[in-house]
Amino acid sequence: LAVSWTDTVQASLMIFALILTPVIVIISVGGFGDSLKVTKQKSIENVDMLKGLNFVAIISLMGWGLGYFGHPHILARFMAADSHHSIVHARRISMTWMILCLAGAVAVGFFGIAYFNDHPALAGAVNQNAERVFIELAQILFNPWIAGILLSAILAAVMSTLSCQLLVCSSAITEDLYKAFLRKHASQKELVWVGRVMVLVVALRSFALAANPENRVLGLVSYAWAGFGAAFGPMVLFSVMWSRMTRNGALAGMIIGALTVIVWKQFG
């Protein structure tokens, strides 16, 4: 219940920041038409969705959507529903929130091009790392109090995902691996301590990945997205859609999917 309430507050903060920021950026540039004109002048590819893309690239971009089926921290939300009737409302809320947030995130980057093109003296940090566009816009366009609230939306996005992923990882390792294969008769107290240790291990590993200066947010997200999607996505879809799905098939799918992504990343 606590995770649900914190997720609700964090989701509200994120959608507020991602809708407000691009609106203020558009107003600062001179309106939607002027923003679009400047962005188009910067590069025609900014307004032509198919410019420079071939069939393989289009399919690859569409493949991002398939990753959703393999994310345990997303599926856990629907699994926590009190009945199957709640799933319908949860689906509507989830898709509405997702569309608005993704559209807002795209708008921040899209209209950020126009803003920093008009204010090149302020674009130093963004030119070095384009992933800082939201941070820079929040600091430039808003007073420190509002900017602090908007920047806390980044932490909200991190914490909402992190809390659920830590919980899912700890539960999966404790119940599905440790208790199922290593200690079938482990006491509840022992399982609690194993879960706590695994939360610490996963958190430390995540910190090590984030501390690497060579890593970028989008690169890490795409790697994790591919791993989750390939390992768990096919298993979830076949389990729901195909009555002949078996335990061994699920295990094989998870192992092969995860290994494929790792090998592809390291040697592809």
Pure H helices in the chain: 2-29, 32-42, 55-62, 72-79, 84-118, 124-128, 133-141, 144-171, 188-211, 217-241, 247-267
Is residue 60 one of the residues assigned to a domain? yes
Is residue 210 one of the residues assigned to a domain? no
71 CA to centre of own chain: 10
pLDDT above 80 (res 114):
yes
Is residue 105 one of the residues assigned to a domain? yes
Query: Could you tell me the end-to-end alpha-carbon distance of the chain, in angstroms, rounded to an integer?
Result: 43
Is residue 221 one of the residues assigned to a domain? no
pLDDT, residue 268, reads 67
Is residue 67 one of the residues assigned to a domain? yes
Query: d(Cα 239, Cα 245) in Å, to the nearest integer?
Result: 6
pLDDT in tens, 150-190: 888 888 777 777 777 787 788 888 888 888 888 888 888 88
pLDDT, residue 50, reads 67
pLDDT above 70 (res 3):
no
pLDDT above 90 (res 104):
yes
Domain count, the chain: 1
Is residue 134 one of the residues assigned to a domain? yes
For residue 43, the 8-state DSSP code is -
What's the pLDDT band for 107 if we cut at 50, 70, 90? Answer: very high
Is residue 232 one of the residues assigned to a domain? no
Give the structural domain span for 136: 2-154
The pTM is what?
A: 0.76
Is residue 29 one of the residues assigned to a domain? yes
pLDDT above 90 (res 236):
no
Average pLDDT over residues 146-150: 89
